[in-house]
Amino acid sequence: MIQLENVEKVYRRSDGFVRALAGVTLDIEAGCFVVVRGPSGCGKSTLLNVIGGLASPTAGRVRVAGQDLSAMSAAERARFRASHVGFVFQTFHLLPYLTVLENVAMAALPGQEAAAKKRAHQLLYDFHLADRAGHRPAELSTGECQRVAIARALINQPRLLLADEPTGNLDPQNTATVLDLLETFHRQGGTVVLVTHQQVASNHAQRTILLHEGKIESSDSPASMLAEGPLDG
């Protein structure tokens, strides 16, 4: 599903250059639930943005769903994103002046607006938000806002969901609900890449990638981490 080859991402800032990704090579199978961890500033969000086509790599190759993102123009990447990737962020990014239903349906692919509106209603029903469809985000709790954001991410039925600290602003109960929604997407065959600091979220991972200063420090499934651990301590 996702192949990265020697990916570098360098940002230019007023105080110099920042190497957010410093040669990342990675292969994530379709249908995998991957958690990305690491200290603040190690490149987790950048990695997600490069995988999802929100940012282009400075060097290296990025292939997602069989397509070479590194060779695409910004417009091509935007089209790719709309049809293949759902993004979920810590701060929801809902549009305050649109209703819940409009927020979910707004990401619909061109020409599919009618079907998307129907699907938005279904997603809101599935996520226990049907009675909120006509409300604006300011009238919702944070947990409800994140459920709306996940519904929006799923509106075009992507195979890949990229979530950047989606439970960072939520209490434990809403965290569990959001993780359940990600898990349901995964059980239905979707690929999930989840950036998180929270152990409870990591428990869902089939594989954990640890980043450090823009490089992969380790990339293990829980079983292999266990096998390498000090079992006879």
Measured from the CB atom, the residue of 19 and 63 that comes closer to ligand ADP is 19
Chain positions 190 to 229 lying near ligand ADP, rule: CB under 6 A, are none
String of contacts with ligand ADP for each residue 1-30, x by CB under 6 A:
----------x-x----x-x----------
The CB-side HSE value for 181 (13 A sphere, CA atoms) comes to 27
The span of 37-45, 105-113, 120-128, 142-150 binding ligand ADP (CB under 6 A) equals 37-45
Three-state SS sequence of the chain: CEEEEEEEEEEEECCEEEEEEEEEEEEECCCCEEEEECCCCCCHHHHHHHHCCCCCCCEEEEEECCEEHHHCCHHHHHHHHHHHEEEEECCCCCCCCCCHHHHHHCCCCCCCHHHHHHHHHHHHHHCCCHHHCCCCHHHCCHHHHHHHHHHHHCCCCCCEEEEECCCCCCCHHHHHHHHHHHHHHHHCCCEEEEECCCHHHHCCCCEEEEEECCEEEEEECHHHHHHHCCCCC
Other C-beta atoms lying within 10 Å of the C-beta of residue 54: 16
Rounded least distance, CB 43 to ligand ADP, Å: 4
Residues binding ligand ADP: number (CB under 6 A): 12
* The one among 41, 71, 142, 228 contacting ligand ADP by CB under 6 A: 41
Interface stretch with ligand ADP, choices 23-31, 39-47, 139-147, 177-185 (CB under 6 A): 39-47
Q: Which stretch binds ligand ADP (CB under 6 A): 33-41, 143-151, 154-162, 172-180?
A: 33-41
Stretches 27-35, 43-51, 96-104, 109-117: which one binds ligand ADP (CB under 6 A)? 43-51
46 touches ligand ADP (CB under 6 A): yes
CB of 13 to ligand ADP, least distance (A): 5
CB of 175 to ligand ADP, least distance (A): 19
CB of 219 to ligand ADP, least distance (A): 16
Q: Which of 2, 4, 42, 107 binds ligand ADP (CB under 6 A)?
A: 42
Those residues whose C-beta lies under 8 Å from the C-beta of residue 130, and which sit 6 or more positions away, are 121, 124
The one-letter code for the residue type at 226 is: L
Task: Tell me which residues touch ligand ADP (CB under 6 A).
Answer: 11, 13, 18, 20, 38, 40-46
